[in-house]
């Protein structure tokens, strides 16, 4: 396993140990996958070797900061080669251990973390419901306080480690107050323990991939959960969920990176040994280009995933943590993995389609991860919405102004105001709209830019814009609140503002006599 220069001694040693562990148990994992059974013996080894302890503080029996999320990702990268146990290992890490370590009080940490660290218990995360998937804020499972307990009612589905886990990180609605819902204060995170009355496994799914993984439905029927098992207090569930999803997507990304490497292994293995038209298929450029893409993606995406782990370990990017980065990693790594699996199958030909090789399994598995932890389509929407908001200053386009000599727009990093004393009325506003059309034809100018350009107050500007609109000299766009947000001149307005020559532009190399 390649090591990065910022890894400490503990993390480097973990990399060697996990690679050795994966090599040693690869055959057992393959055997279990063929039989579609869950390898309990192998999972027990993973737990007893204390890989979950990478994210647990030393005072509770873990490896502490010397390992951290980076150490956990190192473990995941190796274990991802071993099939079903990788999914169960990751789920335990982000399904109780991580949340308790970061949001638990002293009593909760004392109760659960040593057991996670020693490998005595497994975890699961319970967000998805029959009618709630990507819209996690719409969770319908309800928790009602009765004395020192909360009574939970609802169902969860597509829960990995269903039945195997001892502790379930369950999110439930504790308020239907519109203000709480708007502020994402309506959800609460509960640590629900196996054996809780009214808490049961309802169904086990047969999935397209993840051979042997226990994934299913859970039922909560008047299940009493002690108030002492609430993490971070009532109404803090959304914050806990986002933190957990950042971590979940990071571990999923690391798994994908590991699997891209496995695709390269089998692609090059086949290319070296498959002879067609009197030469090994590694000499065909089409195959070489496919493997080049796999290697490039593996190197680039692995770096992204471990950068995210580093950010989590150092507490960077608060308060949401590496939300954009983990979201992007989940999208691009799963899609890179899918492409690697498809390309490897294409390189291997008919062999790639058989279960005699593991690549068809990669193709089935990656489809699950393109949907799980938030579908890639929904994550792209989040990436857009949050990305343009968080990085509004970084993405702000420069103001463009016409250069008299070049007769071309030149960028400036700030809007240049007109001279002081410029009167703000319908004529000066129309002149600015005409100027903007000359520079950015087809676009509206923002109200904020107009305010700066004209040195105007809001009342005077709005009055002028409304007058122009009444005269059909301008068109104003109003936002959802009905507030003027964007404006442009109409053709009638452009004609009134300036003669046609003002808007003309011809490059020097053009003979103007050619035009009418």
Give the pLDDT confidence score for residue 331 in this predicted structure: 96
Residues in the chain: 516
**Which whole-number Å values give the CA distances from 331 to 154, 253, 484, 487, in the listed order?**
30, 8, 36, 36
pLDDT score at 319:
55
Does 481 or 406 have the greater pLDDT score? 481
Q: Is 374 left (phi over 0), alpha (psi -120 to 50) or beta?
A: left
Ramachandran angles phi, psi of 84, nearest 5°: -55, -35
pLDDT at 515: 82
Output the pLDDT for position 288: 98
Query: Do 139 and 172 contact (CB within 8 A), yes or no?
Result: yes
Asked if the 399-508 domain carries CATH number 3.20.20.70, the reply is: no
Question: What is the tens place of the pLDDT at every residue in 250-299?
Answer: 999 999 999 999 999 999 999 999 999 999 999 999 999 999 999 999 99
Helix (H) or strand (E) holding 465: helix 458-470
Q: Does residue 316 surpass a pLDDT of 70?
A: no
The three-state secondary structure class of 455 is coil
Q: What is the mean predicted confidence (pLDDT) over 188-216? A: 96
User: What does the block give as tokens for 351?
Assistant: 């062999």
Amino acid 513: pLDDT: 83
Nearest CA among 89, 62, 94 for reference residue 77: 89
Q: Quick one: pLDDT band at residue 360, thresholds 50, 70, 90?
A: very high
Looking at CATH, the fold of the domain delimited by 1-121 is given as Butyryl-Coa Dehydrogenase, subunit A; domain 1 (1.10.540)
* Tokens standing for residue 422: 């410029």
The per-residue pLDDT for 348 is: 97
pLDDT of residue 508: 85
Q: Give start-end residues of each CATH 1.20.140.10 domain in the chain.
A: 240-395
What is the number of other CB atoms lying within 10 angstroms of the CB of residue 20?
A: 12
The angle subtended at Cα 78 by Cα 254 and Cα 364, nearest 5°, is 60
Other residues' Cβ atoms within 10 Å of the Cβ of residue 234: 18
Query: Closest by alpha carbon to 422, among 414, 437, 432?
Result: 432
pLDDT of residue 320: 65
Q: Which ranges of 144-236 does DSSP label H, i.e. alpha helix?
A: 178-182
**Banded pLDDT at 516 (limits 50, 70, 90):** confident
**Confidence (pLDDT) at 149:** 97
Q: Residue 179 pLDDT more than 90?
A: yes
Helix and strand element counts for the chain (H, E): 16, 14
3-state secondary structure 25-41: HHHHHHHHHHHCCCCHH
Homologous superfamily of domain range 240-395: Butyryl-CoA Dehydrogenase, subunit A, domain 3 (1.20.140.10)
Mean pLDDT for the chain overall: 95
Question: Residue 472 and residue 442: Cα distance in Å, rounded?
Answer: 17
Fold of 123-235: Butyryl-CoA Dehydrogenase, subunit A; domain 2 (2.40.110)
Average pLDDT over residues 167-187: 97
- Enumerate the CATH 2.40.110.10 domain ranges in the chain, comma separated: 123-235
Structure tokens at 309: 């782990």
Residues 314, 379: Cα–Cα separation, whole Å: 24
- Could you tell me the pTM of the whole model? 0.89
pLDDT digits (tens, 9 = 90+) for 96-155: 999 999 999 999 999 999 999 999 999 999 999 999 988 899 999 999 999 999 999 999
């Amino acid at each position: 396993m390649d090591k990065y220069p910022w890894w400490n001694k503990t993390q480097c040693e973990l990399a060697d140990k996990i690679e050795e562990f994966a090599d040693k148990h690869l055959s057992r994992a393959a055997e279990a996958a063929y039989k579609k059974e869950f390898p309990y013996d192998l999972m027990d080894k993973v737990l007893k070797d204390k890989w979950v302890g990478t994210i647990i503080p030393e005072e509770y029996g873990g490896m502490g900061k010397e390992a951290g999320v980076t150490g956990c990702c190192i473990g995941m990268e190796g274990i991802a080669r071993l099939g079903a146990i990788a999914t169960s290992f990751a789920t335990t890490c982000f399904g109780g251990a991580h949340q308790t370590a970061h949001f638990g009080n002293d009593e909760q940490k004392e109760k659960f973390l040593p057991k996670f660290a020693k490998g005595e218990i497994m975890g699961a995360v319970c967000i998805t419901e029959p009618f709630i998937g990507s819209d996690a804020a719409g969770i319908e499972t309800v928790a009602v306080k009765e004395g020192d307990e909360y009574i939970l009612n609802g169902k969860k589905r597509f829960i990995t480690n269903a039945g195997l886990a001892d502790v379930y990180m369950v999110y439930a609605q504790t308020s239907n107050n519109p203000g709480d819902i708007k502020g994402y204060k309506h959800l609460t995170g509960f640590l629900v323990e196996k054996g809780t009355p009214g808490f049961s496994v309802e169904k086990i799914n047969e999935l397209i991939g993840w051979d042997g993984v226990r994934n299913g439905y859970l039922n909560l029927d008047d299940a009493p959960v002690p108030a002492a098992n609430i993490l971070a207090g009532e109404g803090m569930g959304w914050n806990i969920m986002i933190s957990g999803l950042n971590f979940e997507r990071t571990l999923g990304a690391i798994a994908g990176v590991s699997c891209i490497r496995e695709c390269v292994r089998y692609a090059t293995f086949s290319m070296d040994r498959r002879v067609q038209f009197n030469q090994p298929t590694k000499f065909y450029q089409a195959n070489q280009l496919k493997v080049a893409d796999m290697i490039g993606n593996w190197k680039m995406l692995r770096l992204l995933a471990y950068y995210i782990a580093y950010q989590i370990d150092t507490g960077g990017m608060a308060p949401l943590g590496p939300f954009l980065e983990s979201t992007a990693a989940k999208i691009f790594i799963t899609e890179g993995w899918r492409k690697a699996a498809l390309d490897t199958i294409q390189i291997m030909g008919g062999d790639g389609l058989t279960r005699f090789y593991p690549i068809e399994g990669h193709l089935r598995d990656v489809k699950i991860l393109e949907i799980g932890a938030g579908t890639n389509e929904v994550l792209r929407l989040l990436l857009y919405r949050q990305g343009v908001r968080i990085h509004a200053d970084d993405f702000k386009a420069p103001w463009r102004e016409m250069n008299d000599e070049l007769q071309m727009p030149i960028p400036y990093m700030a809007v240049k105001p007109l001279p002081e004393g410029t009167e703000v009325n319908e004529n000066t506003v129309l002149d600015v709209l005409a100027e903007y059309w000359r520079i950015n034809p087809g676009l509206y100018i923002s109200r904020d830019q107009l305010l700066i350009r004209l040195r105007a107050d809001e009342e005077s500007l709005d009055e002028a814009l409304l007058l122009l609109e009444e005269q059909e000299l301008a068109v104003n766009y109003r936002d959802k609140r009905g507030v003027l947000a964007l404006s442009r001149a109409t053709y009638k307005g452009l004609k009134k503002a300036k003669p046609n020559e003002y808007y003309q532009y011809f490059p020097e190399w053009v003979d103007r006599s050619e035009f009418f």
